[in-house]
Structure formats: C-alpha cells, structure tokens
A and B are shown apart, each in its own frame.
Chain A
C-alpha cells in the first residue's frame, strides 16, 4: 500500500469512528435531558421545606428523574411511597439525627470533581464543610447529633491502578475537630496492639453515649467488627467477617453485611444481625446480596437500598430473621427516620 493510500484509509477510519464517538456522546447527553423531565407514573414531587426536626418522617436522596433528582426529599414515615417534598439540597449520601445532618456532595470543578462533607442544621443550612478525599459512600451522625462520620473510596493511591482503599473520618460538630482517618487510632486485636500498613476502615455507626462507635476494619484480606472509643482513640476487634455495621436504637444489636460462603464473587453479601452480648448471628429474610449500610427504622425493622430501575429502591425486612423483605419506596437511597 502506498503512503497516500494508507493516509486515506486512516482518515476514512477516523471519520467513521468520530461519527460513532460523537453519536454516543450526543445520545448520552440527550438521555440526560430526558432524565430532567419527570417520568409519567413516577412519584409526585413538589418543592418545599424539609426540616430535620419533627418525628414521623423519612428523609432520603430522591433518585427519580426530573427537576428534583438527587435532592434531599421527605415523605411521611407511615407512607414512604407517598407524595414527596424536595429541598433543593443535593447529596450523594446523607444521614441525620437530632437536628444535625451530614450531606456528602460532589463539587463540579473545571478539571475534575471533588467531594465534600457538609454539616447541616435542622433547616438544612450549612454549618461547616470538610474535604472528602475520594468518592463518598457511607455517612452517619451520632444519636445526639454531636458527631458525624463518613467513608470515602480513595483511588489515586496507585497510578492507573484498580486497587481502592477507604478513609473513614469522624468530626466533632461542636468543636469542629476532625479526625481525617480512623487509621490514626490505636488498634487492639486479640488483646494486643496491632499495626499494619494495609488497614482500612469504613461504615462508622455511633452509640448513644457520644463515646462509643462501631465500624468495619479490613486488613490482610479479612474484615472485622470493631468497637471504637472516641476518648481513648482506640478500636478493638469484636467479631470477624462484618462489613458496614449499623447499631440498633437500643444499642444491643448490630445489623451488617456478611460475606457468605458459596456465593458469587460479585454478589457475596447477606444481611445479618449480631447480638453484641452473645455474639450470636441471625440471618435475615432478605435473600439478595445487599451492598449498603442498613438503617434501623425502629428496634424491629431494617431498611436498606438495592439497585433498581432509577438507581436504587428501598426495602424493609424484620430484624429477627422472620417474615419477608418488601419494597417500600422506588427511586430512593440513603434514608433516615426522624424520631
């Protein structure tokens, strides 16, 4: 083939491929426009006031297509599938307790997205914000509203790699003191101080005393439930194969996802409840793999997200292993029940 012909072949191929590439971008951006239109048959959503006080309500991130996509939205807890009130505040993940909220947001920059954790007051006004070093996933506030915690997946630890690590941060919302990574805490494993470069923490959940918390510790390919102490800055391992713990309102049990044997690698988790006194595990009636930090609706019921048509739907299941799972809301994620 002559040089001229080779150039012609290349130019022709580049033109064809450019058309394909541009078409795929246009298709994706047109889809974006459609997503900004409310879909017929979707939940009814109106703009309004959302507050973090007053009981009997559920607040969550609305995933339904339309102008209020990704906004914090509220419904009556007794009618989670009912009409939604949206707040204009957009969050990827959210949690709240006693009038304090934590909202993990993306900040769209010129060159890349960055993320931050915003502490909200009861009227969703910003009180403070903190940098989050990666893609945020879990968020929690202590029952008193004093402490907030979040977890981020940090890439960039390895250039062009696909390995991820996590950073779990805790902030005292009263003093503003931030612990950017739980890796600063002393780890006590099997009664002894444990050190390793490969420790990762995620999924913090707080007890009512504003001193105790629980979280996942991963090291050397295993995960552990740890009990943390905010004053002595230590964490102590309690139980193996526990991820994303969630402490019950009465403080006696932890709901979590457990890697069960014989399940496919891409869907390895089952929901369990661990009795903290006896360390007895109870499998729940949900038979699907759940990759979420479950929320206790009350001392007897758990609520969690599973992938759905609009990203995620919310389900509930009894906490004692009985009954069946049932869907309570579509196009919703990161629920919190205000008491």
Chain B
C-alpha cells in the first residue's frame, strides 16, 4: 500500500480517522465513497451548466448583441487574480467552526447558479463582466471545500481513485455542456435566452444534489482526528488544531511535507505553459487547419476524461508523487513532440493525448497527495494553499512565456520551457515527500 507521509509512517499504517472508519482490507476493489459520487454528480451537472454559457458567450456578444468581445477581454484580466484570493477565503471559511465545507461549497454553487438568469437581463459589457465575475467568485469559493470533502470521505489508500472519479465526472460535464448549448441553438433561432434559462435550471439541480445527498462534515469526526494528529504535529499546528484560524492555516506551511508539496507544485507550475499557448504552438508548428482550432481543447478534455480514473488508481498503487512526476514527464514529451521535426498526421493526436494525460496524472493526484499532508480540520485551507500557489505559478509562467516568445520566438520559448520543466521535475524528484511508495500489497 501507499504510505502517505512521515506522519502516517511513525504511527501504525492507516491509523488516521478515515482509515479507521473505513478499514482498507477488501476495499481495494470497492467503489468510491457515495459522497465522492455525489460530489462528482454535482460537478458534472454544474459543469454542463457553466460550459453551456461559456460556449455561446462569444457568439452571443458578437452575433446576438453586436458587441465586439475585445472590450470584454479587458475586463477579464481584472478578476483573474481575484479568483485565486477567493479560493483561499473559501478554503479558510470551510475549515472554521470545524468543517463547514458543505455549506461554503453550497454557497459557491448557489452564487454561480444565481448568476445565470441575470445574464438574461444584461445587454452591455459591464454588467455581463460583473455577472461573470460573481460566477467565478462562486467557483473560487467552492473548489477547496469540495476537494476537502472528497479527501475527507475517502480512505487514504483510495484517494487517488476518488479524485480520479471526480475529475472524470467533472470533465464529462464540461464536454456535455457545449453540446447541450449547441442543440438548443439548433432548435431555436437566437435562443440565447433559452440557453441561459436551461443553464440556470441545470445549475439549480446541481445545488439540490449537493444539499440533499452530500453529508456535512461532522465536527465530532474532525475532533477525533485532531487528537490523533496532535501526537505528531508541531506545537503551532497542535494549537491550530483546536480552533482553525487564518494563522493556523498559514502555519500549515511549517509542516515539512506540505511545504515540499507546495514548493514542488509551485516549481512545476512555473514551467507549465498555459493551454492556449500549447494549442497555438500546435497550430503554428503543425499547420492544424483553422476550422479544427476550436476543437483542440476538446481533445485534451477527452483524454483527461478517459485517463483520470486509471491514473488515479495507479497513483494509489505506485505512489502519488511518481504519477504526478510522470504526468509532467508526459507534458515534457508533448513539448518534445512540438519541438521535433516529425510532422506526421498523428502528431496533433499524440500531443493532445499527452496533454490530457498530464492533466489526468496531476490535477486530482496533486490534491490526493496534498490531502495526505494536511490535518483534517485544516484540509480545505491546505488544499487551497497548494491550488493557489500552483495557479499563481502558472500565471507567472504565462507572462514569462509570452515575453520569451516576444524576444526569441515560439520555438526558443518552448525549448526554454522544456528545459525549465526538466529542471523543476528533477528538483521535485529530490524534494519529494519521503518515504515514497512501497510496492502494492
């Protein structure tokens, strides 16, 4: 089995509260926890709703309202950084008072749902920008509590699979959303109002599934685990365990394992070229026809969808860090293919599969790995810290990559990114939380 970190290894294997609640014997083949399936369903439904809107928004602005979406791009930058901060707030709020994850996440989902009918009323750029900013605030608030709930409701040895199942369901929703929007636009003429109304109805169903079928985290359970963890926690974290505060959340970074995970995520994030650049490079280097351009993200998403569960299971067996680093290896391979002189027709497919593989091996797996190093009562804050660090690092990478592209051209910029990724992966390999995986039982 996979022994998560030094904390678990100093005590008997799997003595955390979750482990005790769900004995691992005979559980390896068991399905994921009902809570994970419920949360996956919520994410699937919510993503159908939000991607419906995303898919038709450019068309709505240009063809429906006669606006030019360029002005909209200006507003977009303003709330990009904002959502990273909101994520920390959501993580912290969920931990306060001993596990209000469900209600903070529910508020986030509810806020996004409420934004959909407002789109019917907005006809100019500023209100549309504000509504989408509120929508993103909801997304920022709900992400960390939701991931904390997934990790809290699964055993340490099946966490990778649990996150894999969740991410697969989430991505399925993201793929179905544009299809639903397109079918509605086909059935109507200029039926943007119908798209927004249906999107709202779907979002409400998502909130209802959360409220009705996702159990709230019980304070009792969090306290029980706190007592287990006090034995090994540093004094500052021990104090934090009694009442989660903002300082306690920041004190998490004093935990060696979490710090290492955060640093690795940050380093690798600094060398992760944003999706849009990957698609642009794919188009430029390989001459992907213009009409296929909009379909490139779908290729990544499809590979993510298919590989999320198998790679999550693999992470449970082989060790999360191995799979996490191997995922970056897949990304490195994708960069290598983009740089190579091979121009076969299979190349775009290979790059997109590797790109989806990268997401499948890293997105949920990182959360599973981070969960092992954060005490339950600070789970949400800890996951938010790692996510925000990673997001900010990727943002810095985008700026740097854009500058390198400007100065030296796309090929040199990608070579630089590949070298940086290889270097960061090597450092991450040395920094990885010890001890790493043992062979599966």
Determine whether the beta carbon of B68 is less than 8 Å from that of A153: yes
A:197-218 near B, CB below 8 Å: 197-198, 200, 202, 218
**A9 beta carbon closer than 8 Å to chain B:** yes
Task: Report how far A9 CA is from B208 CA in the complex, Å.
Answer: 9
Pairwise interchain contact A157-B188, C-beta atoms closer than 8 A: no
- CB proximity of A134 to chain B, nearest CB, Å: 7
**Inter-subunit contact A164/B201 (CB<8 Å):** no
Residues of A within 8 A of B212 (CB): 1, 6, 9-10
A80 within 8 A of B: no
Contact between chains at B201 and A18 (CB < 8 Å): yes
B132:A133 contact, CB within 8 angstroms? no
Tell me if A71 counts as interface (CB < 8 A to partner B). no
Residues on A with C-beta less than 8 A from B406 are 195-197
The answer to whether A131 and B279 have CB atoms under 8 Å apart is: no
A contact residues around B77 at 8 Å (CB): 163
Whether, in the assembled complex, A76 has its beta carbon less than 8 Å from a beta carbon of chain B, the answer is no
Contact B197 A21 (CB under 8 A): yes
Task: Judge whether A156 is part of the interface by a CB distance below 8 angstroms.
Answer: yes
Taken together as a complex, chains A and B put the C-alpha atoms of A264 and B46 apart, in Å, by 33
Residue of A29, A32, A135 touching B59 (CB-CB under 8 A): A135
* Cβ contacts under 8 Å, B51 to chain A: 160
List A contacts of B301 (CB < 8 A).
159
Complex Cα gap A32–B205 (Å): 28
- Does A260 sit within 8 A of B, measured CB to CB? no
Contact A20 B197 (CB under 8 A): yes
Q: Chain A interface mostly helix, strand, loop or mixed? A: mixed
How far apart sit A291 and B61, CA to CA, in the bound complex (Å)?
12
| A-B contact list, 11 entries, CB within 8 Å | A25-B187, A28-B191, A92-B63, A135-B59, A159-B297, A160-B174, A162-B54, A196-B402, A221-B74, A266-B127, A267-B124
How far apart are A184's CB and chain B's nearest CB, in angstroms?
Answer: 10
The answer on a CB contact under 8 Å between A160 and B54 is yes
Contact A311 B73 (CB under 8 A): no
- Which of A24, A29, A111 has the most chain B CB within a 10 Å cutoff? A24
In the complex with contacts A21-B198, A27-B194, A162-B76, A156-B69 CB distance below 8 A:
no
Q: Which chain B residues in 348-404 approach chain A with CB under 8 Å?
A: 401-403
Q: Is the CB of B58 within 8 A of A266?
A: no
Q: Find chain A residues with CB under 8 A from B291 CB.
A: 114, 131, 133
Across the interface, which residues of A come within 8 angstroms of B296, CB to CB? 156
Interface string of B48-89 (1 = CB under 8 A from A): 001100100111001101111111111111000000000000
Cβ–Cβ contact A24 & B193, under 8 A: yes
